[in-house]
Amino acid sequence: MHKFSITLRLRLSLVIVIGTALLKVGTWVNLSVYGAIALLWALWLRVRFRPLVQLLGAELLLLTLMALPLGWERASFLLARSLVCLLTMNSFLLSLPPHSRTLALKGLPLPAPLQEILLLATQYLEILLSEITQMQRAAKLRGLGGSAGWLRYISAATIGSLYIRTLHRAERVYSAMVVRGYQGKLPVDTKLTPKETIALTATALVATAVTLSSY
Amino acid sequence: MHLPDGFISPPVAVVTGLASVAAVAVSLTRCRQAYGIRQAPVLGLTTAFVFAAQMVNFPVAGGTSGHLLGGTLAAVVLKSPWAGTLCITTVLIIQAVLFADGGITALGANALNMAVIGVWVGWGLTQVLHRILGGAKARLPLAAGIAAGISVVAAAIACAIELVLSGTAPANLVLPAMSGIHVLIGIGEGLITGGILTYLQKTQPDLLLKEQPQLEKLVNSSVEHFPNRRRFIAASFCMARWPRKSGRRIRLYSTSGKRTHNSTHTICGLRAPRVGKNRYEHHWYCRQRSFICNGIWNCAISKTEKCISFQLPCGCAYL
C-alpha cells in the first residue's frame, strides 16, 4: 500500500510530532506550517476520515477541559498544537495494517532489553484481550451486567484471575516461542534503505528549521 | 495524568527526559541480573496487564474518571522497583507511540512521574508500612494498598509541578486541582491494588513470596555434594508450603552455587503444574551456549515432596 516502510513512517511521524510540540507558544505561522505538513501526511497515508475524526474528537475533548482554564489565547494555541500532534500520530496508527504494531515498535530507537519487553508486552496484549473477551462472555451468560458493570471490571477477583489466567497462557506461549528459536529478538529487518534515510534526514532538517525559527 | 504534547516547555521536557533515561538505564542494568529468559514472560505480561488495567476507568467525582496507575502493583508483583520502573515505562511508550495517549515529547515527564516517582514512592512506602504493620505476609496487600494510594498523589503533585515550571498553568490553580482529584483516584488505586494482591496471595502465593534464605543455603549445600556431575548440577528446593493451585518455582544452579539466569553457559527454568496425584508436569527449558532444548518432563514426587532426580539432555541434572 504505502511506499515507505512502517519504521520510516513511525520515525517521520515522530519527527513531525517532536517538532510541533517544541514550538514556542504563540507562533501561529510556524504551527500552520506543521498543520499543513500533518494534513498532507494524513492524506498521503490515505487514512479513513471517520475513525480519524472520532479519535481526534475524543482526545481533544479531554484536552479542552484541561486547557480552557488557562485563558482563551493560551488554550487555543495549546489545543491547536496538540491537534497537529494528535493528527500526525493517529494518522500513522490508522495506517498500520492489523497485527503490525509489534513491527512498528521494533523500529523505535530503544535498547534491546527494553525492546524485548515492548515486543512481549504487545504480544501478550492479544492474549490478555482474548482472556477479557472470554471472561466478559462468561459473565454475560451468568446474567452479570447492569449499570454498575464497571464495578465488576475493577473488582480484585476479576483483575486477579485475569492476571493469573493470562500468566499461565503467556508462559505457554513464551515456551512455544523459545522452542521456535526466539531469543529475545524478532527476525524483522527494520533498517532503513538509503532513500528512506535521505527522506528522514530531509524531514528532520525541515522540522528543525521550522521549530528553531519560532524562537 | 498523561501529559500531552505541547503542555510542557522544552527545558522541562529535556530535564525530565534525561532523568527518566538515567532511571531506565539503571533499571535495565539491575534487571538484567534478575530477569533473564525465564522471567521475561512475567515482566512482559505484567506490562501488558498494567496497560490493560489502565484502560478501565472508574468514576471519581464531578463527571471525571480515574484509572489504575499500577506502579506499586507492578513493583510488588515483580518483587523489584527496578522491574516496576521498566514495566511502567514500557506501558507509557506503548501508549504514547501506538495509542497517542500521552505526548512523545512529554514521555520523559510522564515516565518520571509514573514510572519513577510513582513506582519508587509506592515501593518504598510498601516496605516501610509492611514493617510497621508487623511484617506478616497477610499484611502485604494492606501496606501496598495504602502505599499505592499515596504514590498516585505523589505522582500527581510531580505532574503539577512540571506544569507550573513549564509556565502552562499557575501553581494556585493546578496544584489543588491535580492533588484533589488524585486523592480520590488514589483511594481507588489503593483499593484495587490491595484487592488484587489479596487475591493473588490467596490463589497463587508463590507469585508474591520471596525465596527463603535457609532454603537457598539448602540448595547450595546440596550442590556441594554433587560437584562432578557432567557440566552443571541443577538443584531444586521445596517450598515451605506447597501452593494449592499451581506448581512450585524451581531454580537451577550451577556447580558454583550461583544462579544461572545470566550465566554464559546456561539459563534454566522450570515450572511444575500438577497433573495428577503426586505427579507434576515439568515444563522446562534450558539454554546452553547456542543450544536450546525444550520440552515437558513428567516427574514423580515422593511423599515427602522431594523430587526424584533426573537428567536433562543438555547435561543439567535435576536432583
CB-based contact B60:B96 (threshold 8 Å): no
Whose CA is closest to A66, among A56, A80, A78?
A: A78
**Alpha carbons B102 and B114: distance in angstroms, whole number:** 12
For residue A98, count CB atoms less than 10 angstroms from its CB and return exposed for 0-12, middle for 13-18, buried for 19 or more. exposed
The CA distance from B209 to B189, in Å, is: 22
- Interchain CB distance below 8 Å, B40 and A120: yes
Question: Is residue A159 within 8 Å of residue B198, measured between CB atoms?
Answer: no
Polymer length in residues for chain B: 319
In this predicted model, what pLDDT tens digit does every residue of A73-89 receive, in sequence order? 777 888 888 888 888 88
Contacts of A85 in chain B (CB under 8 A): 4-6, 100, 103-104
Which residues lie closer than 8 Å to B286 by C-beta, 6 or more apart?
A: B252, B266, B267, B268, B269, B292, B293, B294, B312, B314, B316
Q: Do A154 and B192 touch (CB under 8 A)?
A: yes
Are the Cβ atoms of A178 and B285 closer than 8 angstroms? Answer: yes
Residues in Cβ contact with B258 at an 8 Å cutoff, skipping those fewer than 6 apart: none
- Are the C-beta atoms of residues B37 and B269 closer than 8 Å to each other? yes
pLDDT at B68: 79
Inter-chain touch A150–B58, beta carbons under 8 Å = yes
Q: Provide the pLDDT for residue A151.
A: 60
pLDDT digits (tens, 9 = 90+) for B81-126: 888 998 999 889 888 877 767 778 888 999 999 999 999 999 999 9
With contacts defined as CB-CB under 8 Å, which chain A residues touch B10? 22
CB-CB under 8 Å, B13 with A184: no
> Which chain A residues are Cβ-neighbours of B53 within 8 angstroms?
159
Establish if A76 touches chain B: CB-CB under 8 angstroms. no
Instruction: Give the pLDDT score at B255.
Output: 32
If you write DSSP's letter for every residue of chain A in order, what string do you get?
--SS-HHHHHHHHHHHHHHHHTSPTT-HHHHHHHHHHHHHHHHHTT--HHHHHHHHHHHHHHHHHHHGGG-HHHHHHHHHHHHHHHHHHHHHHHTSPTT-HHHHHHTS---HHHHHHHHHHHHHHHHHHHHHHHHHHHHHHTT--STTHHHHHTSHHHHHHHHHHHHHHHHHHHHHHHHTT--SS-----PPPHHHHHHHHHHHHHHHHHHHTT-
Which CA distances in Å does B30 have to A135, A188, B92? 36, 28, 20
Whether residue A85 and residue B103 make contact (CB cut-off 8 A), yes or no, is yes
ipTM, two decimals, is 0.73
User: Which of B31, B49, B168 lies closest to A166 in CB terms?
Assistant: B49
The stretches in chain B having pLDDT less than 70 are 32-40, 56-66, 100, 206, 208-319
CA distance A28 to chain B (A): 14
Shortest CA gap A3–chain B (Å): 21
d(CA A112, CA B40): 13
For B11, the closest chain A residue by CA position comes to A22
CA gap B89, B108 in Å, rounded: 9
B246-260 pLDDT, tens digit per residue, is 333 333 333 333 333
Calculate helix-pair angle for B71-78, B40-53, nearest 10 degrees.
160
Determine whether the interchain pair A116/B40 forms a contact, defined as Cβ–Cβ distance below 8 Å.
yes
pLDDT of residue B148: 93
Q: Are strands B266-271 and B249-250 parallel, antiparallel or unpaired?
A: antiparallel
What pLDDT score does B153 carry? 92
pLDDT at residue number A154: 59
Asked if A87 has any chain B CB less than 8 Å from its own CB, the reply is: no
- Across the interface, whether the CB atoms of A155 and B91 are under 8 A apart is answered no
How many Cβ atoms sit within 10 Å of the Cβ of residue A40?
Answer: 10
Between positions 97 and 116 of A, the ones with CB within 8 A of B are 101, 104-105, 108, 110-111, 113-114, 116
* Residues B28, A179: C-beta atoms closer than 8 Å: no
**Facing B52 at nearest CB: one of A111, A119, A128:** A128
For residue A114, the model assigns a pLDDT of 81
For A194-208, the DSSP string reads HHHHHHHHHHHHHHH
| A positions 136-165 inside 8 Å of B (CB) | 150, 153-157, 159-164
pLDDT, residue B29, reads 82
Residue B162: helix, strand or coil by DSSP? Answer: helix
The whole-model pTM stands at: 0.69
Q: Computed from CA positions of residues B143, B148, B154, B158, in that sequence, does the dihedral angle turn out positive or negative?
A: positive
From B7, B89, B200, residue closest to A160, measured CB to CB = B200
- Minimal Cα–Cα distance from A81 to chain B, Å? 6
Quick one: how far is CA B305 from the chain centroid?
Answer: 29
Query: How close B249 comes to chain A (CA, Å)?
Result: 13
| R_g (Cα) of chain B, nearest Å | 22
Residue whose C-alpha cell is 529468559: B37
Question: What is the rounded distance in angstroms from the CA atom of residue B316 to the CA atom of residue B296?
Answer: 15
Q: What is the rounded CA–CA span in Å between residue B196 and residue B294?
A: 33
Q: Would you say B30 and B82 are in contact if contact means Cβ atoms under 8 Å apart?
A: yes
Grid coordinates representing B297?
A: 518432563
CB distance from A28 to chain B under 8 Å?
no
Q: Are A163 and B193 in contact (CB under 8 A)?
A: no
How far apart are alpha carbons A104 and A121 in whole angstroms? 13
CB B195 within 8 A of CB A160: yes
Give pLDDT < 70 ranges for chain A.
1-3, 58, 62-63, 65-70, 98-99, 101, 143-155, 183-190
Q: Give the pLDDT score at A163.
A: 81
The residues near B49 (Cβ < 8 Å, ≥ 6 apart) are A124, A128, A162, A163, A166, B70
